[in-house]
Structure 1
Amino acid sequence: MTSIRQLRYFVEIAEQGSFSSAAERLFVAQSALSRQIKELEQQLGTLLFERTARQPRLTGAGRVFLGRARQLLADLDKAERLAREVGEGLLGSLQLNHSSTVPLSGLLLERLGVYLQGNPGVSIEIAQQSSEAQLADIAEGHLDIGLLRLPVLRQHEAVEIHTLFSEPLLLAVAAQHPLAEEARVTLAQLREEHFISVPHRQRGGLSYLCASLCMEAGFFPRAAQVVSRKTTQLQLIQANFGVALLPECMRAIAPPSIRFVPLAEPGCVSTVSLACRRDAGEMVRQFVEVIRG
């Protein structure tokens, strides 16, 4: 079977027009070069070069073979380069999911752009998913990266979590709500309000945090007639179905008719984190490094 070495030797001789010049460029003995070409011709059952006193000339078979040999070597070089780039994290595809309360805006969107600009061979597929579900999918190898809100109720040994930033929680209400024009409100003032987001008993994340803060203030949030854990909660607030405690970043995607009122309590903050597998490859590692800044 024709070897890659034989193809490289053959192409080099054809391009140099000389066995001796090709041997010098390839750093091999001319006798070894000649032997490889002779073996190649025997395998093909035809001569590739006419040996003359001055220089070898391609035969008809040699000219046809040269074009194919160049293409094969070019394809091989491309395959090697692609494999190298994938191994170094420079080429491939990433699956990224984010919580509905971690919108890809502001600093996150900026750093995502920086990563893509520096890695033009990488594509990213993005979807929304709850924080707990993200961790489970990452642990099982179905997801590369998760952007979630703490706290999380279940820990996975195969998953590592990196803190990105914390931001204040604000009261989100409709423009016509009685608290909309307040300079700030206390959690105790929300005792009789109806919340359009309530915690799931098996999930952590923002709703769990908000319920914990309300309980510290002496009450459990009352559920509105319509509740949601997705970004549709913004539409429910706008329609005055109820209120919610939302992170400051949600202002960027909220309709203008929603008012965000600061909370009087200083400890009402929410933390955004990035999750990935502990044994993640270089492509994920590079992404984490850029997003963490």
Structure 2
Amino acid sequence: MLSTRQLRYFVEIAESGSFSAAAERLFIAQSALSRQIKDMETRLQTPLFERTARQPRLTAAGEAFLPRARNLLNELTKASEMATQVGTGQRGILRLSHSSTVTMSGQLLRGISVYLDQHAGVSMEIAKLSSEAQLEDLAEGRLDVGLLRLPVLRQREGVHIVPLYSERLLLAVPPNHRLAVDKSAGGIDLAQLKDEAFISIPHPQRGGLSYLSAELCMRQGFFPRAARVVSRKTTQLQLIQAGFGIALLPESMQDIAPPDIHFLPLADPDCHSTVALACRQDPSALVQHFINTCTDHCGSEPASSHRGFSPDHGD
């Protein structure tokens, strides 16, 4: 088998026109260069050069071999560059998923735009998955980055979760709801919602926004009463619009809500929800660059090793 070095030596001699000039440009002894070409010819079982007194000339076999040797070296250079770009996170496909209540808008969308602007060789695949499905896909290597809402009740081994940013919760009510008509100047007190029907209640084995909403209500002495139709997905916006009930929703969901849903401020200053970014432990360079961009443009906490990433085991 011919070596890459031999191919490079052969092309250099053909292009420079002499063994001595090629040896000088390659920074090797002419005798060593001659031995390498002789070995090539032995392996190919045919001479590549006619040795003349003035300068070597390519044989017919050499003429046929030269363009292919050049192509092989060019392809090897391209392959090496591609490997370097992928390995350093400058090229590739980033697989991202987000919970239905983590909207692709605002500061998050700006962070994604900045990342793609800075990494022209990267493309992104975005899907919508529950927090539990995201953690499973991350653990199994089917996903690169997950965006979810805390708390996380079940942590997957090898998956890191870190808070990215927080946003206030608002009370979403249907058109003509009594609270939308009789607005409180200081915001809605959660205790006022005791007899309201909530279209999102927590699953016993899942965390996220519905779990947080129930926890906030229980601090006021009641568990949210379930509406006749419930959902933990973005369909809850349509259920609220149709008058099935109310929900505590993050401020960003106003960006995708029907215009006739009323979003009312809450009196409790602790009513905030946190979006977290999840990835595998020791992320690839591609993922790490995305993490860095998100923490720089969306994050509220300073970065350290892995730009602030640490495991969060939930409740």
Q: Distance in 2 between matches of 1:13 and 1:61?
A: 15
Corresponding letter in the other structure for 1:237: I
1:159 matched to 2:159? The reply is: yes
- The equivalent residue for 1:256 is 259
- The equivalent residue for 1:20 is 20
Contact 1:132 1:153 in 2 (8 A): no
- The equivalent residue for 1:202 is 205
Q: Distance in 2 between matches of 1:23 and 1:112?
A: 50
Residue in structure 2 matching 1:279, options 259, 282, 294:
282
Secondary structure at the residue paired with 1:124?
strand
Structure 2 length-normalised TM: 0.90
Deviation at 1:89, TM superposition (A): 1.5
Structure 1 length-normalised TM: 0.96
- The equivalent residue for 2:95 is 95
- The equivalent residue for 1:35 is 35
Secondary structure at the residue paired with 2:180?
coil
User: Which ranges of structure 1 fall in alignment gaps of 5 or more residues?
Assistant: none
User: Which ranges of structure 2 fall in alignment gaps of 5 or more residues?
Assistant: 297-315
Stretch moving more, 199-208 or 238-247? 238-247
Secondary structure at the residue paired with 1:179?
helix
Q: Distance in 1 between matches of 2:263 and 2:35?
A: 81
Which deviations, in whole Å up to 9, do the C-alpha atoms of 1:203-234 show, x marking residues without a partner?
A: 00000000011111111111111111111111
Corresponding letter in the other structure for 1:255: P
Secondary structure at the residue paired with 1:165?
strand
Q: Distance in 1 between matches of 2:117 and 2:47?
A: 50
Which deviations, in whole Å up to 9, do the C-alpha atoms of 1:160-198 show, x marking residues without a partner?
A: 112111111000112221212414211111111111111
1:129 matched to 2:129? The reply is: yes
- Count of equivalent residues: 293
Contact 1:167 1:270 in 2 (8 A): yes
Q: How does 1:206-245 map to 2 (within 5 A)?
A: 206-245=209-248
Q: Distance in 1 between matches of 2:116 and 2:22?
A: 42
Q: Distance in 2 between matches of 1:60 and 1:121?
A: 42
Q: Distance in 2 between matches of 1:237 and 1:166?
A: 23
Corresponding letter in the other structure for 1:163: P
Corresponding letter in the other structure for 1:216: R
Which deviations, in whole Å up to 9, do the C-alpha atoms of 1:90-142 show, x marking residues without a partner?
A: 22222211110001111111111111121222222211111233223323333
Runs of 4+ with deviation above 3 angstroms: none
Q: Distance in 2 between matches of 1:155 and 1:45?
A: 63
- The equivalent residue for 1:86 is 86
Deviation at 1:38, TM superposition (A): 1.4
Secondary structure at the residue paired with 2:83?
helix
Corresponding letter in the other structure for 2:93: S
Stretch moving more, 117-126 or 197-206? 117-126
Q: Distance in 2 between matches of 1:61 and 1:178?
A: 91
Secondary structure at the residue paired with 1:7?
helix
Corresponding letter in the other structure for 1:50: E
Which deviations, in whole Å up to 9, do the C-alpha atoms of 1:10-46 show, x marking residues without a partner?
A: 0011111111111111111111111111111122122
**C-alpha RMSD of the superposition:** 1.3
Identity rate, percent: 66
Contact 1:195 1:222 in 2 (8 A): yes
Deviation at 1:62, TM superposition (A): 1.2
Q: How does 1:156-195 map to 2 (within 5 A)?
A: 156-181=156-181, 182-183=183-184, 184-195=187-198
Corresponding letter in the other structure for 1:218: G
Q: Distance in 1 between matches of 2:22 and 2:11?
A: 9
Corresponding letter in the other structure for 2:286: M
Q: Distance in 2 between matches of 1:10 and 1:140?
A: 47
Deviation at 1:281, TM superposition (A): 1.6
Q: Distance in 2 between matches of 1:232 and 1:78?
A: 48
